[in-house]
Amino acid sequence: MKGQQGFTLIELSVVLAIVGLLVGGGLMASGPLFERAHIQQTQQAMDQIESAITLFAIRNERLPCPADGALLPNQPLYGREQPDSRPGACAVADGRAVVPWVTLGLHDGLSADGWGRRFSYLPAFPLTGADHPLRRQGITYPAGRLKVSTPASPPVEITPDGEGAAYVLISHGHDGTFGWMRGGGRMAPSGSRHPFEEANGQGGPAFFQGPLNETNGPSHFDDVVRWRTAAFVIQSCGPAACGNP
């Protein structure tokens, strides 16, 4: 129709600039939402893993050994615990130890955190052996032995004195450094890392749990960590299980 005019190039450029600002602002605002969703998914997966560990303890009166994060899906022991021939020992090196999801009867997806990397899982020796049962003896509980501290300077131990943790469960956070991928590869660090984050990646013997520090560089720390004492695991078994009255 006569009298109708199209947009000029200047008007179109202004409109596109406004749309770009709106979209960019929306993406920036959604970043923290996505991050919170990943953390929530990670915590929910940890809940289910811990429930499966407790069920395993009820049935076997011990903790499961870890699976090997470096294995590929076509390998026989993929996702399965690997006990050692030595009583109470496990065959997987600490830096490769992940949740044995097949042994625990969990779906593959629950072995990974909200960012898609396997949870590291480190049980305390010798609570993985039948010769040292994860069982209450009267009012006495076995010792966990693993030590967890805050990533402070100097570190402050938060596991009970003389008791220790029975196991440590670690998500390596949104950057995934030291975490194992579901296809068998491992996330390598880029540049220098926080020594406490590196310690968690190596599988101890000391572990660290604390507030997130999202700054780039050697002070970065984004691991999501849980640990439980042997007493906590045994009490979670419920009445008439794991030596409970």
Task: Give the model confidence (pLDDT) of 148-167 as tens digits.
Answer: 998 778 889 999 887 899 99
Give the structural domain span for 34.
Answer: 10-236
Locus of tokens 């899982």: 121
Regarding beta strands 97-98 and 147-150, do their DSSP bridges make them parallel or antiparallel, or are they unpaired? unpaired
Residue 225 reports pLDDT greater than 90: yes
Q: Is residue 241 part of a domain?
A: no
Q: Is residue 196 part of a domain?
A: yes
43, burial (CB in 10 Å: exposed 0-12, middle 13-18, buried 19+): middle
Mean pLDDT over each residue of the chain, to the nearest integer: 86
Give the per-residue pLDDT at 230: 95
| 131 three-state secondary structure | coil
Band (pLDDT 50/70/90 cuts) for residue 15 is low
Q: Which two tokens stand for residue 137?
A: 């003896």
pTM, whole model, 2 decimals?
0.84
Q: Is residue 214 part of a domain?
A: yes
DSSP assignment of 11-80 equals HHHHHHHHHHHHHHHHHHHHHHHHHHHHHHHHHHHHHHHHHHHHHHHHHHSSPPPPEETT--TTSTTTT-
Give the residue among 57, 77, 69, 129 at the shortest CA–CA distance from 93.
69
Q: Is residue 179 part of a domain?
A: yes
What's CA 11's distance to the chain center, in Å?
51
Regarding beta strands 156-157 and 147-150, do their DSSP bridges make them parallel or antiparallel, or are they unpaired? antiparallel
Q: Is residue 3 part of a domain?
A: no
Q: Is residue 2 part of a domain?
A: no
142 CB contacts (<8 Å, ≥6 apart)? 127, 132, 133, 134, 135, 166, 230
Q: Is residue 116 part of a domain?
A: yes
- pLDDT one-digit tens code per residue, 117-155: 999 999 998 899 888 889 999 999 998 889 999 877 888
Q: Is residue 5 part of a domain?
A: no
Structural domain tally of the chain?
1
Terminal-to-terminal C-alpha distance of the chain:
89
